[in-house]
Amino acid sequence: MSAVTKEQVFDWLSEVLDPEIPVLSITDLGIVRDVVIDDRVTVTLTPTYSGCPATEVIEQSVAHALRDHGLDNATIKRTLSPPWTTDWISEEGREKLRQYGIAPPAEPAGKRVLLDSGRSIACPRCESTKTSLVSEFGSTACKASYRCEACLEPFEYFKCI
Amino acid sequence: MTGQDALLSYILRLGDNALVIGQRMIERVTGEPELEEELANANFALDYIGQARMFYAYAGELEGKGRGEDDFAYLRDGQEFRNFLMVEQPNGHFGDAIVRQVLFESFYLLQLEKLIDCADTRLAEIAARAVKEIRYHLRHASQWLIRLGDGTDESHERVNTSLGQFWRYAGEFFHGDDVDDLIAQEFDGPDLVSLARSWRASVESVLKQATLSIPDDTFDQTAFSKAGGRAGMHSEYFGFLIAEMQHLQRAFPGANW
């Protein structure tokens, strides 16, 4: 056990992908809150949304990844506090989202962002800010649907929440 | 009643409201007027079911009798549910659902905002998670109510009728009992009198933009209004709702994925 370090565990977790946005790892997404190593390894995760159907799948994937590295009795805990916001997505994660064709959250999460819209979202393909909102919702609860008026491509936007 | 008893009852009420309105939203899946609404409604329902699970899981721990999320949702009889009558009313048409959502979520949002600072850490954490979702829901529903109210004569007339129908269920939000009192006193929870004021201001601002007016100008809480949810006395529609929701567990006890 003494051979395992926190960094190593984080490294392994950075290979566990979000099942709904499979270019992002769970560390990019910022949902790994803590790794504690004493006589066993405890990983603490936080859900993105209350009803996120991926939560259980992610917990199973984490258990699986740790087992693959010989940790058979890791504990996976869930915490709600502090609540996850899009601010937890790493810089690297934002770049990966852009490359994948999803516009990353445009500004820090907060009450104001949730209550009024009207900001311009840059197209992840051509970077034009001439874009329009098609729908507040997309393929998952965390995304809205946009259209780029410059390159005419539809794209998804990861909402600030 | 001790503070801990009140806390358990209060958390079950929160879970019941979330579960029942979530179930009503699930009934609307595939029946929305356009694709955007299909996505919105299904996502809202998912948020509510997720919130209900968090409340029930915590209630099970507080109760300490080994009951979990599924036991509370599937194995309780109608009289044991403590949700508001408003959330169990049938869906009606799209405008009805939007009016109900604006009236209920305007209350629920204020309730959660207050609970974020309450003295029970776990409840405060759940509220902090849920509040982000409900803000988004309410924004969406309010935009629709404004569009319908300030839309055609037909849409205005229909949501105006919906408002009249649902309004009489709103008074119940503020008919507090000893559970609400204890939550306010011992856990620094919401005070229903000031919540009623904020609720009215918030609803009125949306209604104004929607060119609708509050049906009963005096808003006398004791006036013609329906209540009973806090005591487990439901409207006749509720039995049908839980019969459908619980059917699988009742027919095949212990069924699992």
pLDDT digits (tens, 9 = 90+) for A3-19: 789 999 999 999 999 98
Give the pLDDT score at A117.
Answer: 53
pLDDT band at B231 (very low <50, low <70, confident <90, very high): very high
Q: What is the ipTM of this complex?
A: 0.74
Mean pLDDT within B76-93: 97
What per-residue confidence (pLDDT) applies to A118? Answer: 59
Smallest CA–CA distance from B123 into chain A, residue: A80
Q: Confirm if B14 and B236 have CB atoms less than 8 A apart.
A: no
CA distance A48 to A161: 9
Taking the Cβ of residue A154 and every Cβ of chain B, the question of whether any pair is shorter than 8 Å is answered with: no
Query: Inter-chain contact A49–B133, Cβ cutoff 8 Å?
Result: yes
Amino acid B200: pLDDT: 94
Q: How far, rounded to the nearest angstrom, does the alpha carbon of residue A27 sit from its chain's CA centroid?
A: 8
Half-sphere exposure of A13 (CA within 13 A, CB side): 28
| CATH 3.30.300.130 intervals, chain A | 6-84
What pLDDT is attached to residue B63?
Answer: 97
Q: What is the pLDDT of residue B67?
A: 96
Please, are residues A48 and A142 in contact by the beta-carbon 8 Å criterion?
yes
How far, CA to CA in Å, does A81 sit from each of A33, B127, B138, B227?
10, 10, 23, 35
Instruction: State the fold for domain B3-174+182-215+234-251.
Output: Ferritin (1.20.1260)
B-contacting residues in A 102-141 (Cβ below 8 Å): 109, 111, 114-115, 134-138, 140-141
pLDDT below 70 — which residues of chain A?
Answer: 1-2, 109-119
Q: Tally Cβ neighbours within 10 Å of residue A121.
A: 21
Cβ–Cβ gap B50/A50 under 8 Å: yes
Q: Residues of chain B with pLDDT > 70: what percent?
A: 96
Worst-scoring range by mean pLDDT, B21-25, B56-60, B221-225? B221-225
Residue in the structure block whose two tokens are 């919906």: B162
Q: Is A7 exposed, middle or buried (0-12, 13-18, 19+ CB in 10 A)?
A: exposed
Say which residue the tokens 């105006």 belong to: B160
User: What is the per-residue pLDDT for B220?
Assistant: 54
Dihedral sign, Cα of residue A73, residue A74, residue A80, residue A86:
negative
Q: CB-CB: which of B49, B121, B135 is closest to A114?
A: B135
pLDDT at A108: 74
Rounded Cα–Cα distance for residues A102 and A124 (Å): 6
User: How far is CA A104 from its chain centroid?
Assistant: 10
Q: What pLDDT band is residue B128 in, cutting at 50, 70 and 90?
A: very high
Three-class SS state of A120: coil
B131-161: pLDDT as tens digits: 999 998 999 999 999 999 999 999 999 999 9
Pick the CATH number of A6-84 from 3.30.300.130, 3.40.80.10, 3.30.70.1400, 3.40.50.620: 3.30.300.130
Continuous H helices in A31-129: 54-68, 91-100, 111-115
**CB contact at 8 A, B219 and B118:** no
* Binding-face residues of A in 3-62 toward B, CB within 8 A: 47, 49-53
Whether B36 sits inside 8 A of A137 (CB atoms) is yes
Q: What are phi and psi of B227, to 5 degrees?
A: -150, 170
What pLDDT does B62 receive? Answer: 97
Confidence at residue B35, expressed as pLDDT on a 0 to 100 scale: 85
Residue B219: the pLDDT is: 53
Q: Are strands A143-148 and A102-103 parallel, antiparallel or unpaired?
A: unpaired
Compute the average pLDDT of residues B201-222: 82
What pLDDT is attached to residue A2?
Answer: 55
- Do B114 and B180 touch, CB atoms closer than 8 A? no
Beta bridge partners of A35: A43
Q: Percentage of chain B with pLDDT > 90?
A: 88
Burial of B257 (0-12, 13-18, 19+ CB in 10 A): exposed
Can you tell me whether residue B236 is helix, strand or coil? coil
Task: Measure CA B54 to chain center.
Answer: 15
How far apart (Å, rounded) are the C-alpha atoms in residues B148 and A24?
39
Contacts of B135 in chain A (CB under 8 A): 111, 114-115
SS3 A45: strand
A105 versus B84: which is more confidently predicted?
B84
pLDDT of residue A161: 73
- Confidence grade of residue B166 (pLDDT, cut at 50, 70, 90): very high
Quick check: B36 pLDDT over 90? no
What is the structure's pLDDT at B207?
Answer: 97
Average pLDDT over residues B231-245: 95
**Tokens 């604006």, residue located:** B102
* CA A115 – CA A161 distance, rounded (Å): 10
At residue B217 the predicted structure's pLDDT band, cuts being 50, 70 and 90, is low
Contacts of B146 in chain A (CB under 8 A): none
Question: What pLDDT is recorded for position B79?
Answer: 96
Closest partner residue to A137 (CB to CB) among B43, B129, B133 is: B43
Average pLDDT over residues B65-77: 96
Please answer yes or no on whether A161 and B136 come within 8 Å at the CB atom: yes
